[in-house]
Structure 1
Amino acid sequence: MRNKLTLIALLAIFQISSIFAQERTVSGTVTIASDGMPLPGVNVLVKGTNQGTVTDMDGEYSIDVTPDAVLVFSSLGFERREIAVNNQTTINVEMVEDLESLGEVVVTALGISREKKSLGYATQEVDGEDMNLTNEQNVLGSLAGRVAGVQVTGSSGASMGGTQKIKIRGVNSISGGDQPLMVVDGTPISNANFSGSSGADFGNLGQDVNPSDIESVNVLKGPAASALYGIRGQYGVIMITTKKGKKGVEDVQVQINSSFSIERAGNFLPKQNMYGAGSSQSFSTLPNGDPYVAISVDESWGPKMDGTPVRQVFSFYPQDPTYGQLTPFVPHPDNIEDYYETGYNLNNGVTVSGGNENTTFRLSLNDTRIEGVEPNTYLNRNNLGLSAALDLSDEITLSTNINYARNDARRPGQGSEYGVAYFNQWFQRNLDMNRLKDYKYADGTFLHWNLRNPSSTTGEITNFNPLYWNNPYFDAYENTSEDTRDRFFGDVALKYQITPEIEISGAIRSDMYTQNIEGRTAFGGKSIPGYSVGKYQNKEFNYELIAQYNKKFEEFSVNGTIGGNIYNRNYTYLSQATVGGLSAPGFYNIDASIDRPSTTSYKLEKQIRSAFGMIYLGYLDTYFVDASIRNDNSSALPEDNNSYWYPSISGSMIFSELIESDFLTFGKLRASYAQAGSDLSPYQTTPAYGVGTVYGNINTLYVPDNLNNPDIEPSFAHSYEAGVDLRFLNN
């Protein structure tokens, strides 16, 4: 029996060793085929995974792979290369220029595909594989540094699904609401955020898009580019196209991907480690003559930390092993760093896709597990995506895109008095963070570092509630903020190809979510204990009908589009919070409120009815003109003044078609004009009573402070744009 076990163990060790032996480092240089020059910035990906790297300034790269891996080399303006590793350790690659990519087709407003070179306004496309290189949890974060004129800013909790804001061409609104519209496969989706100035940052809704499902992202930068979306597209549009199944694929394809990464807190500010807690250079003394640390002071301007025996904060707790003892007054240089943990991000996904002559489908499932660098923080997200299309006949196609996202999170604290934001200013260099980690004694007493001074007669402390600051571990484990969100968005569409030139399509598009937020404030801290819950529900529906005409003659090309859209939104919010504290420790329920709990509710309904048209003309594949117009009728505006127009016109000329030059590969002049408008939130035209607090047994109402304007008109902004697009030396 012993010999059998020994043999099994040896075989297991040999198998594990052989698995690790399969891993190898592949390196090489990527050059331009035409001149042999090194090519920096080339994306090198392991096919079917998120693992990858980028070539350096010398065109060199290095990556760890298995022998059966396939490396994918891609760069804008060059043909894509796929090379099997086999048993190679050095793979040098020559990239061939792809001049046809300059005439690539991109997705523009309303999902209309256009040749990129024909556009008279600014757009920029990012490939889905490039988006996944950074392994961002929020698709907006993946655009940072990849699109000119786009600024992405994130909160300190961005890696945990915190808010990330995106601005196209800088600040465009004094209210700060200048966020672009997000559109996924033609469906406008909400990117609202639930961030607060204090407490937790619950993030924005753009994070519900699964990055692994993205085929490409096209950013429409100016009003001329997004005029067909009306009010919602006035600050630009982020067009997201997801991956689809392919026709004619005989076998069902299954793809499994997994990635794991770790995260560590870094970039800590330098700290002094000479002076400890206090505001003077001498210690206070107890009635028995023992010196003690200034525990009521929250800064480190006190005596030198030279090892002098003193009473520290732990020694005043009768439950502590060091109660009544003197311990050396020494620095703990890494006490702030010691608070943070090693976080990780585990992402697993599976995709099933296929099709035949009449159908296509793609089903994806993704599971994300994130443990934060701050204790007791996590984010779990599940994504389910389905896209399918069926040719009912040679002329009629039925298609659908359905996406579901489920979020479950406990977020890190934000703000000046929450979480660990105070570490850099209000903390003591003599504190041992490992001692603070055991923040709760066996009898339930909480350990805090910032207390009131001991009695001048007894030398004892009887009130162990913190003075200014909680123990950070108390905040992390007792004062928690949790949230869950369920979200559906997608569409069902029907397309009828009447003739090769004429197409009619209709779609029902929806975006629905329910967000629940729960906050707990525990007994034993500096704040009044409490409990709060909030529920946000949003439903948006778009009913769309579009007709298109597309014809190319010998020298001319024509594309015309007319259509209509009805947008309905229904939003409700309900929150409740305890008042005056909780009736019992650990009983987190609205019924535990000592006083009458507060309740806040809000309901919003809004409708926009729209009609639009667009025409595009091209001549000799060199001269192009676009014109569009849209009319919106908003229920938020006065009934007699709720209609407004959005005209736009743009033109471009590919002047490189008119000259022969080995130096200039591509040159385009473009100019555009557009008018964009904006309405306002509902219920702003007429005054309405507000619901006040209950007085005795009487419900009260109050008169609003603001005077509404029944004759208010929509605001308009005019945009003028001109530009030159140039490509040189076949690049």
Structure 2
Amino acid sequence: MKLKLTWLMTLFMAFVMQFSFAQEKTITGTVTSAADGLPLPGVNVIVQGTSRGVQSDFDGNYTIKASTGETLVFSFLGMKEATVVVAASNTINMVMDEDVETLQEIVVVGFSSKSRDELTSAVSNVTSEDLQKIAPSVSIDNMLQGVAAGVQVTAQNGKPGQTAFIRVRGIGSINAGNQPLYIVDGAQVNENDVNAINPNDVESVSVLKDAASTSIYGARGGNGVVLITTKRGKKGKDAVIKISSRLGRSRKVKDNFTMMNAAQKLQYERELGVGTGASISSDAELKALVALDHDWQDDLLQDGLQQSFNVSISGGEERMRYFFSLGYDEDSGIIKDIHGYNRSSGRLNVDYDAKEWLTVGTSLSFSSMKTGDPRDRNNAQNPIRAMYDYNPYESFYVLDANGDPVLDANNEPTLNPTSSGYPASAELRQNLTTRFNNRFLGNMYLDFKLHENVKFLTQVSGIYDQYRRENFLQPGSVLDIIVNGDPVGSRTDNGSFDFTWTWLNKATYSNTFGEKHNLEVTALTEYVRNNFRSYLAEGDGFVVGGPVVLDVAATPASVGGTRSEYALFSVAGNVDYNYDNRYIATATIRRDGSSRFGANTKYGTFWSGSLAWNINNEAFFKSNTINTLKLRASYGTSGNDQIGRYASITTYGYFAYNGVNTLEPANFGDPNLGWEENSNYGVGIEFGLLNNRVRGLVDYYNRTTSELLLNEQLPFSVGGPTVTGNLGEMVNKGWEFELAGDVIRTEDFRWTLNANLNLYDNEVTKLVNTDDPNTPDNESDLFTSANFYSVLRVGEEVNTFFLTRYAGVNPANGEALYLDTDGNVTNVAAGNEVALSGKSPFADMDGSFGTSVQYKGWDLNANFYWKVGNYIYNIPEQNMLADGDGIESQNQRIDAFNYWRNPGDTNVLPRPSSAGFAADASQTSDRFLQKGDYIRLRSLQIGYSLPKRFTDAMALDNVRIYAAGTNLWTYAPEFKGDPEVGVGSGETQTAAVGTIPGEFALYSYPTTATIAVGFDIQF
């Protein structure tokens, strides 16, 4: 009986305990750091063995449901994982200790990841948290401006969806491309495809800057490498859903000069005796014209509307992790009558542990973009030139005697062609150009654990870009009548199919010997292949209001197409040695074979070696002030093969003469054409003070680019074309400084300041024939580039401006004066051009400074970017201060009134052309060459995260609302116009290889200032 009673009591107690353990209760608490006692936001709190989990809020608070006896697991990057068993109390406060081994920021480098203290090379890393503080952009490269030391970013122009020019540590090449290599999750991406990546999907961006980090990429890494890693799911984490949306307005950045209004322009014309002003016969006529005064910017521009919506779901179980996202971005642009840009994007990243020894995964993304193109060339079709050129007394529509618009044959108001002879609005409405891009980007991989110390990865990745451009000139339109005479209309369809794929095989051995000797050896092969196809079809003759497809064109006009291929095969090896996290050494070697080079020079070998010393880990180094102190040094080589695909072989083409096609050489190849080579050495120091509240680094680099791939003109006796050869050398060197500090760091209030400074020095040291003693110095040292206002000269900076020097105005007669090549004063500009030493389109220094403030739920982030020492040839100013030349059809700046009038006048513009000095007054000279120095409030953002009690009531983890601005304020002391000049003119100066960013300003799409509001929700 006693045994039965004991058994029944045991069953009863087990039942009670089981019931009590199964009863969930709400656990609350705060997570803080043991180092400084401050709360830790974003800590993962998970009920062990389940999918239940939350994150701590900004104040370190968390709320989770768990049962007595269950275990809570606390994890956070840089902290040791902590566990606690739920007992009777409903409050569990957790203090987490730093994990020295993982505290350092994880940086993606080459084909691996390392903590910051393991790096021996110069790498700038931007995390997703950093990107959130930057005013948003649809293209990730624009967001890097000012946030990475040694990385100079210039927007190509302000067109919606436009990418940027990026220069890593100076000018790496002259003719073989200067853009860095972009790698997205292992897939090589063309620089023009970067805007296919949704910035909301990006986990981190690493910019590899020296040969120690880029040599593993061999031929492709000569201009630096930008590694973009997208977000992935985390193991053992419940699904996290994030929704973000943004709505904004954009407007052209305000000019720092003033154009004439109607009364002023008419007065100016009357003074000079030209144009409409000179023909006015009565006060009534003058008043009528003045009454028409308006600003053409109001007629041709609008406030742009920007919209963005993104949703993502990420999480992971014991064996599988996933990240899924969808995004939509739209920007109407600031030019009326065309829709600027929209992009739809999607991504799926999956990792699955199929076996203990095998992980498989994929990263797949798709984007579809549509862009409306205004005419970006230097003529009357360009609306940006029109809004400055058109006279303010000329109406938008043709008006009758009563001031009403005159109607055309379609009963529509007739657009005024103005004195320029062509209405820009007709171009926007009737000559329609639209571009479409569909891009597929992704990879698939198998990661084998062959042994405890040996791993093998095979990965296939690629990008497929389907591009299409459609242009339709409406029949009967203004341009159609001008071009064709009859209302026939025309259509052009052209496009391309571009596929680049990469197959990577990598074996890695890693081991630790004697607890202090850490060794990792990597061997890899990589094969890259690109296939490119293009097509072109044109047709004339369309019915007004009828179908617009080529199939209904009355007359086929032309058809064309091209095909090209490119391949690169590489083998490489890398050795990393780390002794007790004090002494670190890395060595790399890679051999590339490129189809772009001649049979005799197809292969190139690139290598590097680097060392680092973590002094703070030494036993003798004991400091309460200095927490981090590290020295780095590196030397290595990398290559560049970014030239035409068939420059090393002689190619032929058909050329028409008198209606007969003749086969002739189109290019003379050189079988010895070989690699450009970058030899790069650098040293650096990294430091952290006062418990790392003050952090910084100093880097010096010296980079020699030899065997420059340049074009040499052949004598006419052998045909006269150019041939590409290895013909020069130049040196880039400079300093990089970074400094950040937490001015205030308390539980409720954090204030951080940051800044970086970059100093650049460039010199051309060798050009074609410079070693030939029979060649005069003035011929050997001067090598004219295929650009507009600059040359290459030994001893000077690359692309030094080559202009006649302006000497001011002769006070006796108002004549424009210049200096000849010997420095003597003359009144002739043409033929007196000289290299202007120290003046080029490239800055001597640039940098940024900013601040970040957090107070409870509030956050404020601001960033200023600045640039000093570059020069820009200002063509718009040359037109707006034309000294009376052609002013009948183009408006002038108000300071054009300050011209020479009487003998003895000084500090004035030349006497206008009506006085007989038109020939040379506004000719090309350094009169219009201006310093491009500027400082800009690049980004400003203020946000507020709702308190936990509100988000809990809404069953949400986090809600943040914010307002953000871009390009809100600019100060340019000398340059008249917007100083951030990339492409001067999209058609006059193409954005392809060889374009010199900022060489001249013309009438490209303007930079815009944007203000937006948005929200981020997580649950």
Shorter-chain TM-score: which interval?
0.7 to 0.9
Counterpart residue number, 1:625? 585
Report the CA distance between 1:97 and its aligned residue: 10
Alignment of 1:399-418 (within 5 A): 399-417=361-379, 418=381
CA contact (8 A) 1:634 1:643 kept: yes
CA contact (8 A) 1:537 1:572 kept: yes
Counterpart residue number, 2:574? 614
CA contact (8 A) 1:590 1:597 kept: no
Unaligned runs of 5+ in 1: 1-32, 37-43, 46-68, 80-95, 192-203, 285-292, 296-300, 312-325, 452-466
1:512–1:440 CA distance, 2 compared to 1 (3 A): farther
From 510, 524, 535, give the equivalent of 2:478.
524
Counterpart residue number, 2:187? 187
Partner deviation per Cα, 1:84-112 (whole Å, 9 max, x = no partner):
xxxxxxxxxxxx999877622211112x0
1:509–1:176 CA distance, 2 compared to 1 (3 A): same
- 1:443 paired with 2:399, answer no
Counterpart residue number, 2:150? 149
Letter in 2 for 1:471: P
Counterpart residue number, 2:359? 397
Report the CA distance between 1:593 and its aligned residue: 7.5
CA distance in 2, matches of 1:72, 1:308: 73
Number of aligned residue pairs: 593
CA distance in 2, matches of 1:278, 1:595: 51
- 1:359 paired with 2:326, answer no
**Which moved further from structure 2: 227-236 or 585-594?**
585-594
Counterpart residue number, 1:175? 175
SS at match of 2:249: strand
1:100–1:430 CA distance, 2 compared to 1 (3 A): farther
Counterpart residue number, 1:557? 518
**Which moved further from structure 2: 222-231 or 554-563?**
222-231
CA contact (8 A) 2:235 2:316 kept: yes
Alignment of 1:296-315 (within 5 A): 308-310=283-285
Counterpart residue number, 2:944? none
1:618–1:497 CA distance, 2 compared to 1 (3 A): same
1:35–1:434 CA distance, 2 compared to 1 (3 A): farther
From 617, 632, 642, give the equivalent of 1:657.
617
Counterpart residue number, 2:108? 107
Counterpart residue number, 1:498? 450
CA distance in 2, matches of 1:586, 1:171: 51
Unaligned runs of 5+ in 2: 1-34, 43-55, 61-76, 80-96, 485-489, 694-1019
1:382–1:564 CA distance, 2 compared to 1 (3 A): same
Root mean square deviation of aligned Cα: 3.8
Alignment of 1:86-97 (within 5 A): none
Report the CA distance between 1:595 and its aligned residue: 7.6
CA contact (8 A) 2:639 2:677 kept: yes
CA distance in 1, matches of 2:543, 2:272: 39
Percent identity (aligned): 23
CA distance in 2, matches of 1:439, 1:564: 71
SS at match of 2:672: coil
CA contact (8 A) 2:405 2:413 kept: no
SS at match of 2:154: strand
1:438–1:103 CA distance, 2 compared to 1 (3 A): farther
Counterpart residue number, 2:269? 280
Counterpart residue number, 1:214? 202
- 1:136 paired with 2:137, answer yes
CA distance in 1, matches of 2:383, 2:340: 16
Letter in 1 for 2:285: V
CA distance in 2, matches of 1:528, 1:279: 34
Letter in 2 for 1:184: V
CA distance in 2, matches of 1:446, 1:564: 66
Which structure has the higher relative contact order (CA within 8 Å, separation 6+)? 2
Letter in 1 for 2:500: E
Counterpart residue number, 1:369? 330
Counterpart residue number, 1:566? 527
CA distance in 2, matches of 1:632, 1:377: 44
SS at match of 1:684: coil
SS at match of 2:665: coil
1:149–1:610 CA distance, 2 compared to 1 (3 A): same
Letter in 2 for 1:361: Y
CA contact (8 A) 2:598 2:670 kept: no
CA contact (8 A) 1:255 1:351 kept: yes
SS at match of 2:679: strand
Partner deviation per Cα, 1:408-447 (whole Å, 9 max, x = no partner):
1213332322433224642212245588998974636773
Letter in 1 for 2:422: N
TM-score, normalised via structure 2 length: 0.54
Counterpart residue number, 1:263? 250
**Which moved further from structure 2: 426-435 or 637-646?**
426-435
Counterpart residue number, 1:350? 311
Counterpart residue number, 2:631? 669
Report the CA distance between 1:120 and its aligned residue: 1.7
Partner deviation per Cα, 1:642-679 (whole Å, 9 max, x = no partner):
22111111111112333222332212111111111233
Partner deviation per Cα, 1:255-292 (whole Å, 9 max, x = no partner):
222111111223133223232359731999xxxxxxxx
Report the CA distance between 1:144 and its aligned residue: 0.6
Partner deviation per Cα, 1:213-246 (whole Å, 9 max, x = no partner):
0111111112221111121221111111111112
Letter in 1 for 2:107: V
1:117–1:440 CA distance, 2 compared to 1 (3 A): farther
Counterpart residue number, 1:481? 433
CA distance in 2, matches of 1:584, 1:446: 22
CA contact (8 A) 1:409 1:482 kept: yes
CA distance in 2, matches of 1:428, 1:692: 45
SS at match of 1:228: helix
1:570–1:593 CA distance, 2 compared to 1 (3 A): same
CA contact (8 A) 1:276 1:302 kept: no
CA distance in 1, matches of 2:299, 2:57: 41
Report the CA distance between 1:614 and its aligned residue: 0.2
Counterpart residue number, 1:541? 501
CA contact (8 A) 2:396 2:415 kept: no
CA contact (8 A) 1:275 1:429 kept: no
